[in-house]
Chains A and B, each alone.
Chain A
Amino acid sequence: MSDESGVGGAIAALIGAGPAAGFFLYAGIKTKYRNRHARYKPETVVHHELKDAQLQEELVNTIKTKKSLIDGYNAFSFDRRAAKVTVTKD
């Protein structure tokens, strides 16, 4: 069984190699020339001081899953806002 899946995987990789190369080359050209991803990154360049951080956590469930990360993982997407945002002022 594993041999078959190994050969199958190799065949799929060989078939996909050409189209993948073309796709990544096109995407690479767009990235290098247009630089659409370039932006001000205040999270790394603006001086800020964290004065206090209080974490609350409550165990709600235990699950079995084949996924290696939590669904909708977004902790590293600093500039992408959460589904709900509230803004208040003094």
Chain B
Amino acid sequence: MTSDNVTSDNVTNNDGVGAVADPNSVNPAEQFLETLKEAAGAAEADEADSLKVATPAGGDDGVNKCPQCGGSDVAFVTSRTALVCKFCRYEWQPESLDAALGLSENIDRLKGTITSTNAADIEDDAALVTLKCTGCGAEVVIDTDHNLKARCHWCKSVLSLNNRIPNGAVPDGILPFRISKAEAMASIKAFAEERKRFALPAFAETFRPENVMGVYLPYMTVDGNIETRFDGFGEITISTRRINDNETEYTANVFKVGLDMKLEVDDLVVETASSKANINSDVSTNNIINALLPYDVKKVVRFNANYLGDEFTSERRDLDIDEVEHYAVQHFLTIARSAAMPSIRKFSRGVRWDAEAIHIHGSRWTSVLLPVWLYGYVENRKGRQITHYIAVNGRTGYTMGSVPINWAKARAVSWGAAIGISIITWPIAIWLAIMDMSS
């Protein structure tokens, strides 16, 4: 297969902002299939198997203008999840990426690894990108580790990066914040309030919910056309016999069991920032951020840096598909194991799976930024630093967190409870033993 981009004529206009789909245009799903066929026909069989699908053209890099009046001051309004021009008050929303690319269609026909434009491999790790201001010609540097827009120091125009750059910072799509900072602060405050009794005093003293930050974190959505094979043993009870008050003897048939399944998975999400991908990290409670998933990724829109505004920052993707694919495989297998349950209900004594095999016919990857309200606290414990997060899903308001524990107090109270209860129960136990011996 060649790795040339295959153009997919689609629904954005030349103003650089995604528009509502033309009802007379080709069905995106059929277009996507044709794209796949053209790519397959044009490719040589022994080359790399990755197919690319072009994400619809978004805004130009540089100054993004209002599609109505051409004004350059565009803001994102959280309460309406829409972009608004500050000059003429025109409001618009780019179209759903899912609809534009047909991402929910034809999962059963996926073959090979299909990537949208900005899910391609990172080619250059440099975080700083220089743009020439289209307002005055000055050079403006954007630090893509934390943002995808900057204001020109000279003419104050806002410059954005909206299209693919080699360091992977620009995604295909973005899911705008729907939860405001005030709502996030209230959620985080309530979460910490419920856990103040055994919280580390230093955490409680420095807790400032207003320090919560709105961050867009990088992920990929993955669709999978997969087959799985599980092998193991299952048992079915034939009869039982009561031996005594405490023991039962079971007679059971043992079966060697094999289960083949075909599955289509739609919109699995995997982390693509190395600082967040390891949910078992010892230095950072990444599982908290992981637990905020899922998001309503069907509502992801074509990326526009104006969604970041002045209020939010973004984290840059630094992992490629081949570095996160094993997370996707883990999740595929987890999903398959759950899907297997109805097939093995007959085994009353349960099943032990000894071997799992997964064959991935095809997968489709799209790079997105998802919204998180994040509060962090660094605990210094025995010379080690551990970062605790309290995080709020920027769409649903779901809150999860890790609050550092006052271990001394927790141990003291636990020992106190153990001793206090024992002071009551042990004399009773001794008395019972004496009574039993004397009778």
Contact = CB atoms under 8 A, between A and B. Distances in A.
A68 B256 contact: no
Name the prevailing secondary structure of the B interface residues: mixed
Name the prevailing secondary structure of the A interface residues: mixed
Interface string A27-49: 00110111110111011111111
Contact of B417 (A10, A22, A76): A22
B116 interface: no
Interface stretch (B74-82, B171-179, B396-404): B396-404
B285 A53 contact: no
B418 A22 contact: yes
Contact of B410 (A23, A29, A51): A29
A63 B254 contact: yes
B260 A53 contact: yes
A2 B245 contact: yes
Contacts of B256: 57-58, 60
Interface string B254-281: 1111111111111111000000000100
Contacts of B279: 39
Interface residues of B, number: 103
Contacts of B253: 59, 61-62
A40 B393 CA distance: 12
6 contacts: A22-B417, A64-B252, A66-B243, A67-B250, A69-B350, A70-B351
Given A23-B414, A35-B285, A36-B402, 15 more contacts: A5-B246, A11-B429, A22-B415, A29-B405, A40-B294, A48-B266, A53-B261, A55-B343, A57-B255, A66-B248, A70-B349, A73-B351, A86-B357, A87-B358, A90-B359
Interface of B: 49, 108, 111-113, 195, 198-199, 230, 232-235, 238, 243, 245-269, 279, 285, 287-288, 290-291, 293-294, 329-331, 333-335, 337-344, 347, 349-362, 400-405, 410-411, 413-423, 425-426, 428-429, 432-433, 436
User: Closest 3 CB pairs between A and B?
Assistant: A22-B418, A18-B422, A43-B338
Interface of A: 2, 4-5, 7, 10-11, 14-15, 17-19, 21-23, 25-26, 29-30, 32-36, 38-40, 42-79, 81-90
